[in-house]
Structure formats: C-alpha cells, structure tokens
Amino acid sequence: MTVKHLQTPLSDEDVLGLKAGDSVLISGVIYTARDAAHKKLAELIERGEPLPIDLKGQVIYYVGPTPAKPGQVIGSAGPTTSGRMDKYTPLLLKEGMKACIGKGLRNAAVKEALKKYKGVYLAAVGGAGALLSKRIISSEVVAYPELGTEAIYRLEVKDFPATVINDAYGNDLYEEGIKAYAR
C-alpha cells in the first residue's frame, strides 16, 4: 500500500489526486466539529453571516475528545460516526471545505456533493483515540467554547493517518471492500 502525504489546506489538485482506498498521512491545521457545531455553522451559512473559521481548502475532523490532562495537548481523540453530519456536509463543501474525517457510512447526497464540489471523505480508525491523539501536536478552542467537547478546535496534526473512503470520482471504499471480500 502506498501512503500519500497531504499538507493542509488542500487544493482541488490534492483532492483529485486521491482515490478510494488510498492511505494518507495528513499534516498541518485541521478543525474539529461535531453535531452541535455543524448545526451552528449551517445556520450561519443559511443566514449569509460570516463563519468563525474560513472553510476554504479546510479539513474538518468529526471528533469530541476526552479532556486533556495537565501537560497533555489533547485527550483521546478518535473519529465519531459521520452519518450524523450528512445533513450539513453538502453545505460545508459548497463553502469550500475539501475533506472531512470521520468513520462510517455517508448518504447519497454527501457522495454527490463530494463529486460536485471536489471533496473527499476520509476515515480514521474508530476506537483508536489514544493512538490518534499522539499525532495532534497542538489544540486550541476557536469557537463555541460553551459546547465543551463539541466546541470547534483548531488542531495542528503531523502524519495523521486516514483512509480515503469516498473520492471526488464517486468511488466508495465501503462498497468496493465488501465486493472484494463478501462470500
């Protein structure tokens, strides 16, 4: 398996160079958002108001970490189920988001939007929060601190491991994987 290195923010070329099944190592700044933050971002977009973060070229990580202990950058920080964000993802892609990281199935509207706006859906290993936390080198809350674990964090990551599930060409690793191994 070849591993591709990605430096954020991502360009259309970065995205178009990825295929479902590719392993990637991401470095640079990414932002976190889960259900509550997505709802707030979507409301702002719909009202045409400015967002607390610029989504152009950005990578959004669906995560609600455990609290950091004193001296730790962040606590355990693995992906949460992405399907809960399906309702909002096309809107965020339209605003320029290039990739999102989570785990689990996406709906047809998200897959269509990934093609239309040139984006990718990546999965990190669900339940590997301790390992993934070691690839996060800085963390700060940039919006909605009142949401606690659901706040938007700006994370700096180094070689954060993920796998391309849905690419910008309509391929889906979850479907291909099952086809290859079902019997």
Partner 1 sequence: MREIKASTITELVAEMCQEANLYLGEDVVDALKKALLEEESPAGKEVLKQILENVDIARSEQIPICQDTGFAVFFVEWGQEVHLTGGSLEEAINEGVRKGYREGYLRKSIVSDPLERINTGDNTPAVIHTILVPGDKVKITFAPKGGGSENMSAVKMLKPSDGVEGVVDFVVNHVRESGSNPCPPIVVGVGIGGTFEKVALLAKKALLRPLGQPHPKPFYANLEQRLLREINNLGIGPQGFGGRVTALAVHIETFPAHIASLPAAVNINCHVARHVERVI
Name residues contacting partner 1, limited to 128-167 (CB under 8 A). Answer: 128-134, 148-149, 161, 163
Strands 3-7 and 59-61: unpaired
Cβ–Cβ < 8 Å for 73, 136: yes
User: Helix or strand or coil: residue 71?
Assistant: coil
Could you say which of ligand SF4, partner 1, none residue 125 binds, taking C-beta under 5 to 8 angstroms by partner kind? partner 1
Site string for partner 1, 29-68 (x = CB under 8 A): ----------------------------------xxxxxx
User: Helix or strand or coil: residue 156?
Assistant: strand
Our finding on whether 76 is near partner 1 (CB under 8 A) is yes
Closest CA to 166 of 122, 125, 126, 104: 122
Among 21, 28, 75, 126, binds ligand SF4 (CB under 6 A): 126
Q: Cα-flanking dihedrals φ and ψ of residue 63, to 5°?
A: -150, 145
Q: Which residues bind partner 1 (CB under 8 A)?
A: 1, 21, 23, 63-69, 72, 75-78, 80-81, 83, 103-105, 123, 125-134, 148-149, 161, 163, 173-174, 176-183
